[in-house]
Amino acid sequence: MSAARLRAYIDDVARADLQRIAKVLHEPAVIKQLIAALARSVASEVTYKTLAADVRAIAPRIDEETVSNYVNLLQQLFIVEPQQVWSPTLRSRARVRTSPKLHLVDPALTAAALGAGPAQLRSDLKTLGILFESAVIHDLTVLASPLDGEVTHYRDSYNKEIDAIITLLDGRWGAVEVKLGGRQVAAGVETLNTIIEQVDTIEMGEPTFKLVVTGTGPLLVTDNGTITAPLAALAP
């Protein structure tokens, strides 16, 4: 779908779709500003306070509760997808954080909400990396769903985090780190190993797999058994 059609879709959501399921007191421009704010904070544990501060640029009196309600409505319309937290038993004294990450349902929709085309993204690798992480979470969710799997994330009080944890109903789990460039594979492997060492694997079991997903890297298995693969290689 082209960027113009995606922007038109966002406009339809703000003008009509939200009104069909709830009474919305604010103008469509406010909803579009909220979607843009969500896009700027995609794949992060953004707070309603932060989102409200962003939306107040055009709606000075909007409060956090109203923003929370609008986000919930956008979830009902499958515009926003929360990525819940994984709460394992730990060996360390770290405390697991409980805030979900928020994603727009498709990274292309995020780019459209930001007004970011290929040229802008090539010159802004930070934003491109965030969109790439969201794309990986989207694809992992699609692949895990037929297995009744859930894609969560991990972050603790020491700000140690894993981008995605895939869990199955039988207790099996795998850990996934996302890196845009192939040169970042070693850092991704180290992150996974460092955090998994904190997990009480007697209680949780050993991870079934450890995976670093890249945009441009190779497909191989490292010496410690971690798989690294480009996003395009992921398949059922």
Domain spans, the chain: 3-78, 101-233
pLDDT digits (tens, 9 = 90+) for 178-198: 999 888 999 999 999 999 999
What is the pTM (predicted TM-score) of this model? 0.93
CA 86 to chain centre: 13
Report the CATH fold assignment for 3-78. Answer: Arc Repressor Mutant, subunit A (1.10.10)
Tell me the average pLDDT across 87-101.
Answer: 91
- In this predicted model, what pLDDT tens digit does every residue of 137-174 receive, in sequence order? 999 999 999 999 999 999 999 999 999 999 999 999 99
pLDDT band at residue 118 under the 50/70/90 scheme? confident
pLDDT in tens, 48-93: 999 999 999 999 999 999 999 999 999 999 999 999 999 999 998 8
Residue 12 confidence (pLDDT) above 80: yes
Q: Which CATH class is domain 101-233?
A: alpha beta
Given this model, what pLDDT does residue 234 score?
93
pLDDT digits (tens, 9 = 90+) for 22-50: 989 899 999 999 999 999 999 999 999 99
> Which pLDDT score, from 0 to 100, does residue 235 have?
87
Percent of the chain with pLDDT over 70: 100
Q: What is the 3-state secondary structure (H, E, C) of the chain?
A: CCHHHHHHHHHHHHHHHHHHHCCCCCCHHHHHHHHHHHHHCCCECCCHHHHHHHHCCCCCCCCHHHHHHHHHHHHHCCCEEEECECCCCECCCCCECCCCEEEECCHHHHHHHHCCCHHHHHCCHHHHHHHHHHHHHHHHHHHHHHHCCEEEEEEECCCCEEEEEEECCCCCEEEEEEECCHHHHHHHHHHHHHHHCCECHHHHCCCCEEEEEECCCCCEECCCCCEEEEHHHCCC
